[in-house]
């Protein structure tokens, strides 16, 4: 983005020395954590915990996404950090200091709201100037910063418009610029792209990400859209039922889900159930399916003999007509439906005693090789199939 | 909704007769209000259009009733019109000017009081934690619903005991009771359309409670406050029953003077006063319309 | 779901913290409402409560004439009471003369028994010469003292808590045997007036609905630009002073007024047969319909605005013709607006005073005018209070219904 040097310079103070190193970071140690949640609990009615015993360190400069279905506690967590909801128990630290008793306006955290919350009675420029005015900045300085911010989000000509006169994407950019203009070290984003259409959403994802890379500000981002979480974040915290199910890099989230919930929530997933037959060695276990067949899978967490097991395989890792090798498990299945997706074809197959299995096959232009009603062999490598204890991690 | 091409003849008939009927009703609404304006320029003491007026004969029109309105009650009837002495006599002694002064001062007092109390109450009522909200709203709005005669008679019984009859304060209090519900209604409506996340956004940007109230809440609900104030003003300016019960000649307002004029000896001077009041209501209506458009523009509703 | 993480005492502490936070919020919201609430209570609720009390509580006579009130208490209400009552009366009159309260007393009694003023004033003039035995002395002064009517009136007045105002307001009376009976048809005043008030209110409401519904519908389907413009035609009368509109109707409807002159001029009627359109119930109905019509159109319009046009389209695509689609699909969705508008207009029409007083003549006056008459002219405040209370109860019942149909939160204006 051209012409944003000035603001970048202005924000240089918060930019870490080595950008690459920051991006590579996968966990925050106590020293470099900008935000720490220590055993935080939250309940609204003193009966049900919305957030259970949350402990989380957020590294300076990282892009952390809180991902989860609605009601999982991710928004409550963000609201506690912003200061709109008090933590019922535990402590939240910003730069090593407890902020439990600091009101929102004294926390100095930027925030982009779900509906942008742009002040409708002020122009774009007045909206941007607002946080600077309440900080009693000089008029000259305010004007300079507002212009720089408008330039940063490429809205130079729209400073005198009212928010209602802007498109959704433009409003979104103003909201981002307003959250950044007073140079907070930490910016919170509460599903900021939810109101945009798909194409615009993807563009804004890219813009926010590139702003983050250039400014080096810490971003805590809440979404229920997994693809948004995977493409933008340094780390993702998957929430369910008030707990973090897994906190890791996006790739690990997809490749190595820690619980059955994460496996099911992130990406597409085929689920099979069975009983643990043999714990095996090197983390590869054997599971007996209800039809008596035994398949191999990577063991996740502690499994006990006779435990009910949930097996999870990604559709793209299921192979049609597999070669019979030692670590390939195979099943017989009947083709139920073929769904054309352009670049690939999905084949839905029924397996006795299980939910249907979906196989993703690249569209090689041949087609017609599979017909409805065919009985096919499907299979997968043991490392592509993960075995979870049923019920663990909800 | 325009008439589709496949409309059958009876549908066409229905379509056009509905429109004709609506136009007649709308005429029924405005005509009586507008017809008195030309009549107020009648040169004769009649309440109908004279031959001369229908022929647009200039001699059939005059300003005599307007002059009558101003001069009624003057000490010295012989002063030359529009001289300083005449003006000062009119200002000090004309009955209608006296009523107009009363009307304005009472309406302004009642408007200030009801806007202040009503806005505060509406701010409280739009908070989530407000206990017994529905009951309290119903209670605060009931002065509009309870027949004015019942309210006025009740106030008369009480105020007579307290010595508040024939007293400006008593009328201002009564008119505040009638006006405050309108402020509560309009400001509550403005608050209902108020996006609470704006308050949170203000807090995140570093603004304290006072700045948030003055810079964010107030500008956004201001149209509601002003239109409530206009309703309160209009209510007080138009109110006559409470004035009949609580006021003496000294506190006579314009509607009270009209009431007396119509009952005792109706003269076209009443029409002149009525015409002035119609112009005044057109002014009020225009202010309301400007406010409504402003509020819509701010809220991002596309203007018509 | 039980939470093992939360210890029991933690739990209790948390509960108190949460409830105290909620209490604080409630208090701060309530404090904002408090000034208006106190104001309305003191200047609106309290006077009305006082009015309700006045309709059943009337201690004036008992305070002025304590002996008579006490002596009359055991009386059975038939015939003429015993000598002790005459004596008490005479002594009370002597006292009241010294307090110069005879005139007030005469008014009080006159309200209860019309024409009794002279009787009381006569005693007032002759009280100094009264000598025992008082029965004979009083009867000598005026023979009416030997008749039961005046005593029944005084008996009624002597009780501080009384139902006599309501008995009068409902056109009932207490007969010689002390039973409550209805007034003869020709002496009923208030019930017919209540009936007329309701009847005219219903007619006005019906007229407003008939005129208002098509207009509201038309405005709701017109493009915003035209609708806003035409809406001004509805709002202008709404914002115009009530007295101006009433004056306008007097000018239009009177014998020598615009409408009659127009009809004579066009030859529709002859000069000697001018229509009497005003100073009767016709005038009241026309003027009140005009004044209340905006109160019907505005709520109807705001409801109709929210009915999506796609429902009508859906109905047409499902095979209904215009008429069926309107009756079966559109109309039911406007019900809340119709109910709210009708109730609002009806409630407001029940309390109308100014318009009927100015254009109603004899046959067009309503109960409000009677209340004003009782307060200002007849000075029977107790009866006025009883009539007001009855009107108030009716209106409050309708208001309650209105609240249930159209949430007060959604009460729309302009």
Domain count, chain B: 1
**Chain-chain contact of C36 with B137 (C-beta, under 8 angstroms):** no
Cα–Cα distance between A311 and A263 in angstroms, integer?
10
Q: Is C258 on the interface with B (CB under 8 A)?
A: yes
- The tokens for C237 are 């009368």
Helices (H), C41-133: 46-54, 60-64, 66-72, 83-98, 102-112, 116-126
Own/partner contacts of C91-97, CB < 8 Å, gap of 24 or more, are: C91/C67, C92/C64, C92/C65, C92/C66, C92/C67, C92/C68, C93/C65, C93/C123, C93/C124, C93/C127, C93/C130, C94/C127, C94/C128, C94/C130, C96/C64, C96/C65, C96/C124, C97/C124, C97/C127, C97/C128
**CB contacts, 8 Å: C28 with chain B:** 124, 127, 129
Instruction: Give domain status of residue B69, yes or no.
Output: no
Query: pLDDT at residue C217 above 80?
Result: yes
Cis geometry, peptide bond prior to residue C264 (ω within 30 degrees of 0): no
**CB contacts, 8 Å: C5 with chain A:** 41, 49, 52-53
pLDDT of residue B120: 94
Query: pLDDT at residue A29 above 80?
Result: no
Smallest CA-to-CA distance from A38 within A75, A86, A74, A87 is with: A87
**Chain-chain contact of C232 with B245 (C-beta, under 8 angstroms):** no
The dihedral of CA C196, C197, C198, C201: what is its sign? positive
Enumerate residue ranges in chain B where pLDDT < 70.
1-3, 298-304
Cα–Cα distance between C149 and A50 in angstroms, integer?
80
Mean pLDDT across A289-300: 85
- The tokens for B142 are 């009931």
Give the closest-approach CA distance of A90 to chain C in angstroms. 12
**Chain-chain contact of C43 with B146 (C-beta, under 8 angstroms):** no
Instruction: Give domain status of residue B28, yes or no.
Output: no
Cα–Cα distance between A235 and A148 in angstroms, integer?
30
Cα–Cα distance between C164 and A130 in angstroms, integer?
69
Confidence of residue C6 (pLDDT cuts 50, 70, 90): low
Interface of A with B in 130-169 (CB under 8 A): 130-131, 134-135, 162-165
Which helix (DSSP H) or strand (DSSP E) does residue A43 occupy?
strand A33-43
pLDDT of residue B1: 53
Q: Is C317 on the interface with B (CB under 8 A)?
A: no
Give the closest-approach CA distance of A97 to chain C in angstroms. 24
**CB contacts, 8 Å: C15 with chain A:** 46
Instruction: Give domain status of residue B32, yes or no.
Output: no
**CB contacts, 8 Å: C6 with chain A:** 41, 43, 49, 89
Mean pLDDT across A301-318: 83
Q: Which of A48, A53, A89 sits opposite C1 (nearest CB)?
A: A48
Which helix (DSSP H) or strand (DSSP E) does residue C172 occupy?
strand C172-174
Q: Which of C215, C244, C368 sits opposite B25 (nearest CB)?
A: C215
| Cβ contact C408:C188 at 8 Å | no
Poorest-pLDDT segment among C34-48, C108-122, C249-263: C108-122
Confidence of residue C147 (pLDDT cuts 50, 70, 90): confident
Better pLDDT: B25 or C228 = B25
Give the closest-approach CA distance of B232 to chain A in angstroms. 25
Give the closest-approach CA distance of A215 to chain B in angstroms. 19
Mean pLDDT across A308-326: 84
Better pLDDT: C187 or B200 = B200
**Chain-chain contact of A105 with B198 (C-beta, under 8 angstroms):** no
Any chains having at least 3 CB pairs less than 8 A from chain A are B, C
Cα–Cα distance between C298 and C285 in angstroms, integer?
20
Confidence of residue A11 (pLDDT cuts 50, 70, 90): very low
Mean pLDDT across C242-247: 90
| Cβ contact B7:B15 at 8 Å | yes
Strand, helix or coil for residue A4: coil
Give the closest-approach CA distance of B164 to chain C in angstroms. 11
The DSSP letter of residue C151 is H
**Chain-chain contact of B211 with A111 (C-beta, under 8 angstroms):** no
The dihedral of CA C217, C223, C228, C229: what is its sign? negative
Rounded to 5°, the CA angle B38-B44-B50 comes to 60
Smallest CA-to-CA distance from B240 within B72, B99, B117 is with: B99
- Cβ neighbour number for residue A380 with a 10 Å cutoff: 25
- The tokens for A111 are 């925030």
What chain C holds in terms of domains, given with CATH numbers, is 60-162 (no CATH), 191-410 (1.10.3720.10)
**Chain-chain contact of C30 with B21 (C-beta, under 8 angstroms):** no
Instruction: Give domain status of residue B233, yes or no.
Output: yes
pLDDT of residue C294: 92
Q: Which of B155, B184, B270 sits opposite C247 (nearest CB)?
A: B270
pLDDT of residue B2: 63
Cα–Cα distance between A7 and A144 in angstroms, integer?
9
Q: pLDDT tens digits, residue range A74-94?
A: 999 999 999 888 888 899 999
**CB contacts, 8 Å: C10 with chain A:** 89
pTM: 0.81
Q: pLDDT tens digits, residue range A173-201?
A: 999 999 999 999 999 999 998 878 888 88
Partners of residue A223 on adjacent β-strands: A67
Instruction: Give domain status of residue B264, yes or no.
Output: yes
Residue B21's Cβ-side half-sphere holds a number of Cα atoms within 13 Å equal to 15
pLDDT of residue C176: 66
Smallest CA-to-CA distance from B146 within C348, A202, A86, C132 is with: C348
**Chain-chain contact of C214 with B22 (C-beta, under 8 angstroms):** yes
Cα–Cα distance between B53 and C156 in angstroms, integer?
63
Q: Is C233 on the interface with A (CB under 8 A)?
A: no
Poorest-pLDDT segment among A25-39, C144-158, C209-223: A25-39
Give the closest-approach CA distance of A44 to chain C in angstroms. 8
**Chain-chain contact of B201 with A105 (C-beta, under 8 angstroms):** no
- Cβ neighbour number for residue B92 with a 10 Å cutoff: 12
Average pLDDT score over chain C? 84
Give every CB contact of residue A292 below 8 A, 6+ residues apart in sequence.
none
Range of the domain at B269: 96-299
Cα–Cα distance between C369 and C48 in angstroms, integer?
18
The secondary structure of C224-257, three-state, reads HHHHHHHHHHHHHHHHCCHHHHHHHHHHHHCCCC
Instruction: Give domain status of residue B86, yes or no.
Output: no
Query: pLDDT at residue A30 above 60?
Result: no
The DSSP letter of residue C183 is P
Strand, helix or coil for residue B117: helix
Q: Which of C1, C5, C11 sits opposite A46 (nearest CB)?
A: C11
Cα–Cα distance between A307 and A126 in angstroms, integer?
62
Better pLDDT: C230 or C7 = C230
Residue C414's Cβ-side half-sphere holds a number of Cα atoms within 13 Å equal to 25
Cα–Cα distance between B284 and C239 in angstroms, integer?
8
Give the closest-approach CA distance of B45 to chain C in angstroms. 12
Mutate to test the interface with A, among B128, B195, B197, B205 (most CBs of A within 10 A): B205
Confidence of residue A140 (pLDDT cuts 50, 70, 90): very high
Phi, psi of B96, deg, nearest 5: -70, -40
**Chain-chain contact of B204 with A105 (C-beta, under 8 angstroms):** yes
pLDDT of residue A4: 44
Give every CB contact of residue B195 below 8 A, 6+ residues apart in sequence.
A115, A117, A120
Instruction: Give domain status of residue B38, yes or no.
Output: no
pLDDT of residue C311: 82
Q: Is B292 on the interface with A (CB under 8 A)?
A: no
**CB contacts, 8 Å: B174 with chain C:** 43
| Cβ contact C122:C110 at 8 Å | no
pLDDT of residue B301: 45
Q: How far is CA A374 from CA A323, A324, A360, A368, B41, in A?
A: 18, 20, 16, 12, 97
**Chain-chain contact of C211 with B28 (C-beta, under 8 angstroms):** yes
- The tokens for A304 are 């006990």
Instruction: Give domain status of residue B4, yes or no.
Output: no
CB pairs B-C closer than 8 Å:
281
Q: Is C235 on the interface with B (CB under 8 A)?
A: yes
Cα–Cα distance between B150 and B241 in angstroms, integer?
10
Mean pLDDT across A58-81: 92
Query: pLDDT at residue C305 above 70?
Result: yes
What chain A holds in terms of domains, given with CATH numbers, is 5-109+184-255 (3.40.50.300), 268-389 (2.40.50.140)
Smallest CA-to-CA distance from C201 within C280, C292, C297, C337 is with: C292
Q: Is B210 on the interface with A (CB under 8 A)?
A: no
Q: Which of A46, A48, A52 sits opposite C14 (nearest CB)?
A: A46
Confidence of residue C14 (pLDDT cuts 50, 70, 90): confident
Question: Any idea which residue has 């369910």 for tokens?
Answer: A240
Question: Any idea which residue has 């001077």 for tokens?
Answer: B269
Domain of B214, CATH number, reads 1.10.3720.10
**CB contacts, 8 Å: A84 with chain B:** 200, 203
């Amino acid at each position: 983005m051209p012409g944003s040097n000035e603001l970048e310079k202005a924000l240089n103070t918060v930019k870490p020395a080595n950008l690459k190193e920051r991006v590579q970071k996968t966990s925050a140690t106590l020293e470099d954590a900008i935000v720490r949640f220590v055993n935080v609990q939250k309940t609204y009615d003193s009966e049900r915990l919305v957030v259970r015993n949350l402990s989380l360190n957020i590294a300076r400069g990282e892009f952390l996404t809180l991902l989860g279905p609605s009601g999982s506690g991710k928004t409550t967590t963000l609201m506690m950090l912003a200061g709109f909801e008090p933590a019922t128990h535990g402590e939240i630290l910003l730069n090593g200091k407890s902020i439990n008793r600091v009101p929102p306006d004294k926390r100095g955290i930027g925030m982009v709201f779900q509906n942008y919350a742009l002040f409708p009675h002020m122009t774009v420029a007045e909206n941007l100037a607002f946080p600077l005015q309440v900080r009693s900045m000089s008029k000259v300085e305010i004007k300079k910063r507002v212009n720089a911010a408008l330039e940063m989000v490429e809205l130079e000509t729209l400073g005198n418009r009212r928010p209602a006169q802007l498109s959704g994407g433009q409003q979104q950019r103003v909201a981002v610029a307003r959250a950044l203009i007073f140079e907070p070290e930490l910016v919170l984003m509460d599903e900021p792209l939810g109101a945009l259409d798909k194409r615009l959403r993807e563009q804004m994802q890219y813009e926010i990400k590139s702003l983050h890379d250039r400014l080096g500000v810490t971003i805590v981002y809440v979404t229920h859209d997994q693809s948004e979480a995977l493409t933008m974040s340094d780390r993702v915290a998957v929430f369910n039922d008030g707990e973090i199910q897994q906190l890791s890099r996006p790739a690990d989230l997809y490749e190595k889900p820690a619980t059955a919930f994460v496996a099911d929530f992130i990406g597409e997933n085929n689920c099979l159930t069975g009983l643990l037959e043999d714990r095996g060695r090197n983390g590869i276990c054997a599971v007996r399916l209800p039809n008596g067949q035994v398949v191999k899978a990577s063991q996740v967490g502690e499994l006990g003999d006779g435990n009910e097991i949930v097996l999870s395989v990604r559709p793209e890792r299921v192979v049609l007509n597999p070669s019979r090798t030692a670590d390939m498990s195979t099943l017989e299945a009947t083709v139920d439906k073929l769904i054309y997706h352009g670049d690939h074809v999905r084949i839905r197959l029924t397996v006795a005693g299980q939910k249907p299995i979906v196989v993703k096959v690249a569209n090689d232009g041949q087609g017609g090789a599979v017909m409805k009603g065919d009985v096919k062999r499907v299979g997968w490598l043991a490392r592509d199939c993960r075995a979870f204890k049923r019920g663990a991690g909800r | 909704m325009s008439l589709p091409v496949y409309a059958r003849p009876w549908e066409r008939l229905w379509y056009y007769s509905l429109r004709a009927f609506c136009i007649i009703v709308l005429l029924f609404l405005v005509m009586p209000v507008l017809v008195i304006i030309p009549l107020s320029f009648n040169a004769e003491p009649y309440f109908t259009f004279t031959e001369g007026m229908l022929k647009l004969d200039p001699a059939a029109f005059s300003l005599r009733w307007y002059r009558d309105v101003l001069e009624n009650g003057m000490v010295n009837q012989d002063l030359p019109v529009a001289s300083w002495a005449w003006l000062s006599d009119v200002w000090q002694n004309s009955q209608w000017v006296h009523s107009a002064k009363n009307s304005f001062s009472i309406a302004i007092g009642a408007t200030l009081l009801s806007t202040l109390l009503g806005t505060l109450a509406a701010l409280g009522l739009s908070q989530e934690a407000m206990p017994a909200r529905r009951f309290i709203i119903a209670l605060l709005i009931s002065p509009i619903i309870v027949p004015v005669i019942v309210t006025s008679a009740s106030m008369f019984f009480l105020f007579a005991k307290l010595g508040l009859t024939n007293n400006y304060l008593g009328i201002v209090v009564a008119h505040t009771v009638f006006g405050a519900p309108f402020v509560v209604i309009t400001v509550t409506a403005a608050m209902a359309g108020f996006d609470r996340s704006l308050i949170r956004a203000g807090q995140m940007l570093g603004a304290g409670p006072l700045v948030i109230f003055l810079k964010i809440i107030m500008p956004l609900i201001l149209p509601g406050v002003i239109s409530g104030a206009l309703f309160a003003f209009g209510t007080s300016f138009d109110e006559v029953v409470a004035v009949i019960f609580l006021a003496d000649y000294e506190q006579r307002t314009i509607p009270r003077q009209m009431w007396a004029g119509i009952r005792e000896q109706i003269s076209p001077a009443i029409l002149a006063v009525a015409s002035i009041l119609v112009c005044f209501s057109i002014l009020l209506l225009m202010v309301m319309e400007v406010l409504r458009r402003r509020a819509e523009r701010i809220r991002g509703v596309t203007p018509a | 779901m039980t939470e093992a993480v939360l210890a029991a005492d933690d739990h209790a502490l948390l509960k108190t913290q949460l409830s105290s936070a909620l209490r604080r919020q409630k208090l701060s919201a309530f404090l904002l409402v408090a000034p208006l609430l106190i104001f309305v209570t003191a200047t609106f609720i309290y006077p009305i409560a006082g009015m309700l009390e006045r309709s059943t509580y009337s201690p004036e006579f008992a305070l002025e004439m304590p002996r008579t009130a006490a002596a009359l208490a055991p009386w059975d209400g038939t015939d003429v009471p015993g000598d002790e009552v005459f004596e008490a009366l005479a002594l009370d009159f002597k006292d009241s003369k010294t307090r110069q309260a005879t005139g007030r007393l005469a008014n009080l009694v006159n309200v209860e028994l019309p024409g009794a003023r002279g009787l009381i004033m006569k005693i007032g003039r002759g009280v100094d010469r009264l000598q025992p035995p008082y029965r004979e002395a009083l009867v000598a002064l005026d023979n009416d003292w030997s008749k039961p009517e005046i005593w029944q009136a005084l008996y009624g007045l002597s009780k501080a808590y009384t139902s006599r105002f309501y008995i009068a307001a409902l056109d009932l009376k207490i007969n010689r045997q002390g039973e409550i009976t209805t007034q003869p048809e020709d002496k009923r005043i208030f019930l017919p007036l209540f009936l007329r008030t309701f009847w005219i209110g219903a007619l006005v409401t019906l007229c407003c609905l008939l005129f208002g519904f098509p207009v509201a519908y038309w405005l709701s389907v017109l493009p915003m630009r035209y609708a806003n413009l035409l809406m001004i035609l509805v709002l202008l009368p709404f914002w115009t002073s009530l007295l101006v509109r009433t004056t306008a109707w007097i000018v239009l409807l009177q014998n020598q007024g615009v409408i009659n002159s127009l009809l004579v001029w066009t030859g529709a009627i002859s000069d000697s047969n001018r229509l009497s359109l005003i100073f009767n119930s016709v005038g009241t109905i026309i003027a009140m319909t005009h004044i209340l019509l905006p109160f019907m159109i505005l709520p109807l319009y705001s409801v109709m605005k929210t009915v999506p046009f796609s429902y009508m389209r859906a109905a047409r695509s499902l095979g209904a013709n215009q008429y069926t689609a309107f009756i079966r699909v559109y109309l039911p969705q406007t019900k809340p607006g119709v109910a709210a508008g009708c109730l609002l207009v009806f409630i407001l029409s029940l309390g109308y005073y100014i318009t009927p007083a100015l254009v109603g003549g004899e046959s067009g006056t309503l109960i409000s005018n009677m209340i004003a008459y009782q307060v200002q002219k007849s000075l029977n405040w107790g009866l006025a209070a009883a009539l007001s209370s009855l009107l108030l109860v009716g209106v409050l019942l309708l208001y309650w219904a209105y609240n249930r149909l159209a949430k007060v939160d959604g009460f729309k204006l302009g």
